[in-house]
Structure 1
């Protein structure tokens, strides 16, 4: 199961990286098209879709690699047992918030599909397509938070960026 989850987080991180390349390609296409007096409809919108997808798809991978911003000042000031309790509490609250975010992101994607909601820009993209990346990213982030909560309850230490890069 550990290998499967790590592979899933890695695959989402890879998709996020590809979406970042998509942002670059969209912006470059818009710049080149303007220089050539051409119009490529939707390049700005697609750059935005790719940027949002990159951000949401990278959530789980960056969290599991200890790259999210964590305020450790309080945790480091507490005794180890209290620090662990506070960390577990924070992860539990994070799971509840991530579950709500994942639910409403999935609902947004479903509603966009059901009502055939399309972009108001000149690309007229069905909005469920970019919304799916948000729903997938938030759902995977929820899985990563639950995974980390279970690991912490079993006594494993929190991942830090230094540990994952060594």
Structure 2
């Protein structure tokens, strides 16, 4: 578990932890400079978070459709194999895709008892909490991806009755290989259905945890640049 292999000549932990922390230090020391450079990136990231929230909402609608399909199959005395597993996969995708969007809209539960006791140190305590959260989320994202890759290498399959079309597996696998390998990838693909490989429902977990880590580093930087937390909880009437 300590295989922090070099990436572009540097250990992976440097890119995951040292580089973002150095960028946060620059945001703290040179806020005026970063306020000119970062807003375009902030706008792009906000659109990505919103897009992830839309994807999460689509998977939530899919859960509803699967439940309705189960009910219809039961009334028609038909079987709907794998419906429970599909609903579980959709629920996991909803949860992970919605992490970053929920964070940026203040939807996560935050235990602020120590922040409220901070007084004039409230800002620094909040920044420290965001830094710890960003580091933890980065670890989570790194090992979520590692789990995804390991499942692919082991060709781990579901233990349920759910199946997936081979073309879908091939289409998703395209994102993990070079474009010049795509013709060979499709040549080896079939048109049938196979037991769902575990790595397929794990993909939303990897994407969602990466987005959460990026969002935490992003909003820590915004707080250091602007001098105030940019995560505003939505008022509930």
TM-score (norm: length of structure 1): 0.93
Cα offsets for 1:69-116 (capped at 9, x unmatched): 112233223223x11111111111111110111011111111112221
Cα offsets for 1:111-132 (capped at 9, x unmatched): 1122211110011211111100
Of 111, 122, 126 in structure 1, the residue corresponding to residue 197 of structure 2 is: 126
Q: Which has the larger radius of gyration?
A: 2
Residue 57 (structure 1) aligned with residue 97 (structure 2): yes
Which piece of structure 1 moves more, 113-122 or 4-13? Answer: 113-122
Residue 14 (structure 1) aligned with residue 85 (structure 2): no
1:156 shift after superposition: 3.1
Residue 76 (structure 1) aligned with residue 116 (structure 2): yes
Q: Any residues of structure 2 matched to 1:132-143 within 5 Å, and which? A: 132-143=203-214
Is there any run of 5+ residues in structure 2 with no aligned partner, and where? 1-40, 163-194
Is there any run of 5+ residues in structure 1 with no aligned partner, and where? none
CA RMSD of aligned residues (A): 1.5
Residue 145 (structure 1) aligned with residue 184 (structure 2): no
1:153 shift after superposition: 1.6
Count of residues paired in the alignment: 163
Contact 2:158 2:196 in 1 (8 A): yes
1:22 shift after superposition: 1.1
